[in-house]
């Protein structure tokens, strides 16, 4: 019902102005119009309008007009100035925001959206300021707008959260288009950062749409943010094998690949004495573009090199014992154990 209140206030002010103006004009127009007896009717329009203007000028109280202008003129003029200057400032401010977002490489769709939202919000503030200059109490109007904004925000809190998260992703840039990221167990290349979602493409060419709020509220692993990346391999060998031979072979293997970086230096070391094997860690550094190719190549070369040198890679084995009882074969007894072959 609040808008009816503002309409009634405006109507009362306009009615007062119209009543005051009518008090000055009605006596003039109530005078009978001259009749031309010879023409048999009213005088021509070329004669009527000058007479009306002459009577209006003579009947209108100049002092009343001056008082009316002094009473309502300043507020009306101030309201007009506030509105037009405020609208100009709103346009300039929204344009500046769009230019700043464009320099930050914001999506083109987001640019227009940011500009329109900023302009509308600032224009609402300008209209409230102009109405207050006219003497209209804008407290209730401000409260209504605030309540409406709160209701809309509650209804769209999920969507607005994704929108705000998208802006944070664009400005803080934890990743860029083309980076390979891992978010909550979902890994893939970043294809596009949209207003509400981010699109990933997995290595097997599956398109995944992740809400922006999920990205900002969780842990993001950017696997391609740095130019270099370390490969981590664990290689197990038998307790019967010579550890010095194994170490020498692994060191020669990482030095022989030109794609492996000399700095930082690769690491080859015994990491664990396991239940059935002695475990080595092999940690060479490569450029992230060579990561998978070098990793797969090392795994293959390690197996081939172990076979050539007679080294053993332990694996789980199963022993099956068959017991004879009273001359008859009993059911097989299976004993599973994890031992070195």
Whether 143 and 258 share a structural domain: no
> Is 336 contained in some domain?
no
* Residue 242: predicted pLDDT: 94
Give the dihedral of Cα atoms 246, 250, 251, 255; nearest 10 deg.
150
* Residue 275: predicted pLDDT: 87
Tally the domains of the chain: 3
Whether 115 and 184 share a structural domain: no
Nearest CA to 183 out of 217, 206, 224 is that of: 217
* Residue 262: predicted pLDDT: 92
Global pTM?
Answer: 0.52
Q: Say which residue the tokens 């001259």 belong to.
A: 34
* Residue 4: predicted pLDDT: 44
* Residue 231: predicted pLDDT: 96
Whether 189 and 302 share a structural domain: no
Q: Which two tokens stand for residue 159?
A: 């969507």
Specify whether the CB–CB gap between 79 and 85 falls below 8 A. Answer: no
Whether 12 and 113 share a structural domain: yes
> Is 315 contained in some domain?
no
Per residue, the 3-state secondary structure of 254-271, as one string, reads HHHCCCECCCCCCEEEEE
Whether 215 and 241 share a structural domain: no
Is the peptide bond prior to 264 cis by the omega test (within 30 degrees of 0)?
yes
| Residue 231: partners with Cβ closer than 8 Å, 6 or more residues away | 282, 283, 284, 285, 286, 291, 294, 295, 298
Residue 190's CB is within 10 A of a number of other CB atoms, namely: 22
CATH number of 254's domain: 3.30.70.100
> Is 164 contained in some domain?
no
* Residue 135: predicted pLDDT: 74
Domain of residue 244: give its range: 228-309
Whether 105 and 193 share a structural domain: no
> Is 314 contained in some domain?
no
Specify whether the CB–CB gap between 201 and 179 falls below 8 A. Answer: no
278, with CB counted inside 10 A (0-12, 13-18, 19+), is: buried
Whether 143 and 210 share a structural domain: no
Whole-angstrom CA distances from 309 to 68, 130, 140 are 110, 90, 88
Whether 145 and 272 share a structural domain: no
Q: List per-block mean pLDDT (blocks of 10 residues) for the chain, which spans 341 residues.
A: 47 53 50 47 55 61 65 76 87 84 67 76 84 75 73 65 81 87 89 86 93 88 92 95 95 94 94 92 95 95 95 82 62 50 43
């Amino acid at each position: 019902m609040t808008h009816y209140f503002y309409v009634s206030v405006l109507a009362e002010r306009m009615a007062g102005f119209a009543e005051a103006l009518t008090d000055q004009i009605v006596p003039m127009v109530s005078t009978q119009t001259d009749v031309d007896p010879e023409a048999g009717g009213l005088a021509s329009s070329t004669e009527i309008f000058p007479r009306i203007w002459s009577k209006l000028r003579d009947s209108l109280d100049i002092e009343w007009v001056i008082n009316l202008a002094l009473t309502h003129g300043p507020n009306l003029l101030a309201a007009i100035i506030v509105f037009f200057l405020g609208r100009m400032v709103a346009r300039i401010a929204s344009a500046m925001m769009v230019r700043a977002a464009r320099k930050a490489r914001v999506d083109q769709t987001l640019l227009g959206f940011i500009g329109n939202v900023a302009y509308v919000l600032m224009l609402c503030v300008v209209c409230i300021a102009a109405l207050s200059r006219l003497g209209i109490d804008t407290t209730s109007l401000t409260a209504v707008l605030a309540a409406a904004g709160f209701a809309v925000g509650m209804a769209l809190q999920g969507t607005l959260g994704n929108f705000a998260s998208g802006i944070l992703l664009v400005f803080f840039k934890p990743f860029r288009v083309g980076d390979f990221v891992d978010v909550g167990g979902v890994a893939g290349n970043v294809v596009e950062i949209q207003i509400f979602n981010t699109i990933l493409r997995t290595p097997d060419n599956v398109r995944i749409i992740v809400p922006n709020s999920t990205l900002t509220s969780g842990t993001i692993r950017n696997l391609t943010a740095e130019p270099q990346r370390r490969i981590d391999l664990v290689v197990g060998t038998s307790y019967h094998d010579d550890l010095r031979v194994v170490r020498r072979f692994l060191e020669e293997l990482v030095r022989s690949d030109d794609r492996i970086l000399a700095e930082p230096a690769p690491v080859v070391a015994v990491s664990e004495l396991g239940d059935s094997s002695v475990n080595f860690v092999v940690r060479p550094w490569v450029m992230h573009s060579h990561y998978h190719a070098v990793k797969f190549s090392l795994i293959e070369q390690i197996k081939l090199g172990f076979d050539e040198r007679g080294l053993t890679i332990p694996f789980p084995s199963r022993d099956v014992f068959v017991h004879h009882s009273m001359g008859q074969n009993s059911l097989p007894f299976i004993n599973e154990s994890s031992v070195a072959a």
